[in-house]
Amino acid sequence: MHWLTFDLDGTLADWPFRRLLRPYMQPLLEQPHIRQALREEYLHRLAQGDPIRVYDWGDIHRVVQEKLGLEPVFPPIPKLLLEAALDPSWVYPEVPAALAAFQARGYRIAIATNGLAKYQQVLVDRLAIPYDRMLAPDLAQAIKPQPAFWQPVLNSQVEKVVHVGDLLSQDIWGANQAVLTAVWIWRSMPEDWRRTPVHQRTQRKDLDRFIEERLQSELAEHGLVGQSSPNQPPQPDHIVADLEELLVILK
Ligand SMILES: [Mg+2]
């Protein structure tokens, strides 16, 4: 059995959960005391290392609302997930056909997201992204880059697992530690990298320095999920701009 595990946000779709909440969150985030309290609560949970609490935005909102003594200002997440209009263009354009092509080749598809399944699954279903299994912190009791995150698909029948994601600090570090084939999808890949043939990108002399810089900026933005950082820098086995390039690699 061959599995392809895909990160969701920034890999298959353009952050649908964030986009769904944005109109409600934007005015709140413009208030510095609310913005700061949300960031503090997130970083606090990150430091505690509980994989299920880190990205539980509904619970983060609840705690901040109580702490600041606010009226109920935060959006009703469960209701929005079920009822709000979703824009199909949030799914990257080549994704539906590419996933169907992988399935036709016999790959099983997993959505492997650090967002909680209780939020992401309904979005994935409503956006009609096809998949066989969902991996998420509230299902795996682990979070990328912890290798245990992939445990649900690493049973005795598995021959190969390829993980595809856009974050070096979560997807590539995680795939390296779990000893999976690590594919870094770089959707904003600059033109000179696109011109480098796919098989030569990991050989580029400027790659190591670039990865180091990018890793530091990711860690500054997202923090390190799951406590200790590996000794090695993240090492992608392949670097692709989109899933069409992945289809060629996995031929
Ligand atoms: Mg991502």
Alpha helix segments (H runs only) across the chain: 16-29, 32-48, 57-68, 77-83, 95-104, 117-126, 137-140, 173-177, 191-195, 207-222, 243-249
- Would you say 117 and 134 are in contact if contact means Cβ atoms under 8 Å apart? yes
CA 165 to ligand 1 center in whole angstroms: 6
Tell how far the Cα of 166 is from the centroid of ligand 1, in angstroms: 5
Mean pLDDT across 27-53:
93
CA 40 / ligand 1 centre spacing (Å): 22
For 2-14+89-249, CATH gives 3.40.50.1000
CA of 207 relative to ligand 1 center, distance in Å: 20
Instruction: Give the Å distance between the CA of 197 and the centre of ligand 1.
Output: 24
> Using a CB cutoff of 8 Å and minimum separation of 24, what contacts does 178-182 make?
178/147, 178/149, 178/150, 178/154, 179/147, 180/5, 180/150, 181/237, 181/238, 182/234, 182/235, 182/236, 182/237, 182/238
Dist. CA 217 → ligand 1 center (Å): 14
What is the mean predicted confidence (pLDDT) over 228-244? 92
Centre of ligand 1 from the C-alpha of residue 71, in Å: 32
pLDDT beyond 90 at 221? no
Q: How confident is the model at residue 48 (pLDDT cuts 50, 70, 90)?
A: confident
The reported pTM is 0.94
Q: What is the pLDDT of residues 120-166, one digit of tens each?
A: 999 999 999 999 999 999 999 999 999 999 999 997 789 999 999 99
Q: What is the pLDDT of residue 229?
A: 77
Residue 39 Cα to ligand 1 midpoint, Å, equals 19
**141 C-alpha to ligand 1 centroid (Å):** 19
Place of tokens 């960031």: 39
In the reported structure, the alpha carbon of residue 36 is separated from the centroid of ligand 1 by a whole-number distance in angstroms of 23
pLDDT digit string, tens, across residues 192-207? 999 999 999 999 999 9
Is residue 106 pLDDT above 80, yes or no? Answer: yes
Q: Is 91 a residue whose pLDDT tops 70?
A: yes
**CA–centroid distance, residue 156 to ligand 1 (Å):** 28
**If pLDDT is split at 50, 70 and 90, which confidence band does 226 have?**
low
Residue 227 binned pLDDT confidence (cut-offs 50, 70, 90): low
Boundaries of CATH 3.40.50.1000 in the chain? 2-14+89-249
Helix, strand counts (H, E) of the chain: 11, 6
C-alpha distance from residue 176 to each of 134, 170, 236, 237, 238 (Å): 20, 10, 8, 9, 12
Q: How far does residue 100's CA lie from ligand 1's centre (Å)?
A: 21
